[in-house]
Amino acid sequence: MKKLEDIPKNNPFSVPDGYFDKLPGIIQARISASAPEKQARPYFRYALQYALPVIGIIIVALIYLTPKESENYNDILATVSTEQLAAYLADSDITTEDILESGELDDESADAIEAEVYFNDIDLEDLSEFDL
């Protein structure tokens, strides 16, 4: 068995003359030649990745959840029969004053309602002076 001291100590590698003198210039040339491309700003990537899908979902929800032009409250109320509306109002604790305070009623509509409610069953010619 050989001992370590018996192995000759010579350098098996060889380097060309002036290699280490030229090495910094070679490295610098490689670095400047392959300059990295300008990186995109990260917030733009996050905007595309997270914000745009959220905005898209909100827009779709607004389109499908908003009432259509033809669906206003008067059209919906017109589908309810007068008997059903009268039964609902009779069962609820809503007073006439509450209804009049919550809604806007023009003079013409108020007169038509008053005439229908109070004077339908009464013939004014049959009333005596004392009834007025």
Token pair 């917030």: residue: 43
HSE of 6, CA atoms in CB hemisphere, 13 A: 3
Q: Is residue 6 part of a domain?
A: no
- Counting the structural domains of the chain, the total is 2
Q: Are residues 94 and 114 in the same domain?
A: yes
Angle 71-74-77 from CA coordinates, rounded to 5°: 100
Compute CA distances 26 → 29, 35, 117, whole Å.
Answer: 5, 15, 103
Range of the domain at 104: 80-120
The sign of the dihedral angle between the CA atoms of 109, 112, 117, 119 is: positive
Q: Is residue 33 part of a domain?
A: no
Written as tens digits, the pLDDT of the chain (132 aa) is: 678 888 888 888 888 899 999 999 999 888 876 666 777 667 777 778 888 889 999 999 988 887 666 567 777 778 888 888 888 878 888 777 777 777 776 778 777 777 777 665 555 565 555 544
Q: Is residue 29 part of a domain?
A: no
